[in-house]
Structure 1
Amino acid sequence: MNSIIPSIPVLDLDGLAVDLMAAYKNKILLLIIYNNDCLGCTGRAIPLAYEFQQQYPSVQVVGIHANFVNREGTKANIKSIFTSGESPFPIYIDEHHKVFDQFNSEGTPQWLLISEQGELFRSIFGSQENAQNRLFYALESLVKHDN
């Protein structure tokens, strides 16, 4: 059994502190930790996150832009990767990549699937087909399990 995640501290795009575990309490969360400079993130993972948001309306998709030295996200450059200029799901900023480190991320994109009870159900690295399949099966398992 996984333990309850006490908090996931991030900043919203206006720089205000948010704890994702409090903000999305009692929801299945699919978090994508990414960085705008990661082509796999912007080319495959962000569109996949959008697909999952459409396919699983009971799952809250949330983006977390991990800030690394000389690869920081701002409200303008985070929104600039979307053709509409607006993100299709909430995106937050991980200052000094603390959340990235909190979950021992292998790189970006790192996917975190968190149950309604606040437990880490799966952590999956990558955006290519193998990672996409593992993520799909994890979502199917959790959504069926919790409904």
Structure 2
Amino acid sequence: MDISSIRLFDIQESREVSLSEYRGKPCIITFWASWCPDSQRDLVRKHQLYQQMDKSELGFITINVVGREGNKLDGIKYMEQNQFQFPVLLDEGTKIYDLFECKGVPTTIILDEELVVRETFGERATFIEIMNGLAKVI
């Protein structure tokens, strides 16, 4: 799957972002929905990671699965309420979620520097398992 051509709207930067911008360094992508307690817990941990990580060495993206929200603005409201600062891209319904063959939220994808999927973690994965998967590509 060539994901470098994927373009989604980043609500933090108010611009369209291409995943090709992340080529050259490993990247972590998290798919989430605001109503999901597992997503809520995961995003808190991911925010802590984002605040401490070296952004020149690791790409970091979250994708709100708009097609799994009750209202397409729910994810945006959730981000604002929690003051998360990491990149938040809006899926086109479930288009990108489906492209990555996600089965639930949250789902975390680890990409290598060539944007090739190296690990996929479903909603039952622990944060430690995700970090161990990330360690394999950095």
TM-score range, shorter chain: 0.7 to 0.9
Q: Secondary structure of 2:94's partner? A: helix
Give the 4+ runs in structure 1 shifted more than 4 A: none
Deviation of 1:121 after TM superposition, in Å, equals 1.0
- Quick one: distance in 2 between partners of 1:134 and 1:100? 21
- Quick one: distance in 2 between partners of 1:80 and 1:52? 18
Which residue of 2 is the match for residue 114 of structure 1? 111
Q: Bigger shift: 32-41 or 71-80?
A: 71-80
**How high is the TM-score relative to the length of structure 1?**
0.77
**How high is the TM-score relative to the length of structure 2?**
0.81
Which residue of 1 is the match for residue 61 of structure 2? 62
Give the partner amino acid of 2:20. A
1:1-147 counterparts in 2 under 5 A?
A: 4-13=2-11, 16-19=15-18, 21-42=19-40, 44-57=41-54, 58-68=57-67, 70-73=70-73, 76-82=76-82, 86-126=83-123, 130-143=125-138
Give the partner amino acid of 2:131. F
Q: Does the aligned pair in 2 maintain the 1:73–1:93 contact within 8 Å?
A: no
Q: Bigger shift: 7-16 or 114-123?
A: 7-16
Q: Bigger shift: 130-139 or 98-107?
A: 130-139
- Quick one: distance in 2 between partners of 1:8 and 1:81? 28
Aligned length: 134
Deviation of 1:131 after TM superposition, in Å, equals 2.9
Identity of aligned residues (%): 17
Unaligned ranges ≥5, structure 1: none
- Quick one: distance in 2 between partners of 1:17 and 1:74? 19
Deviation of 1:113 after TM superposition, in Å, equals 0.7
Q: Secondary structure of 2:137's partner? A: helix
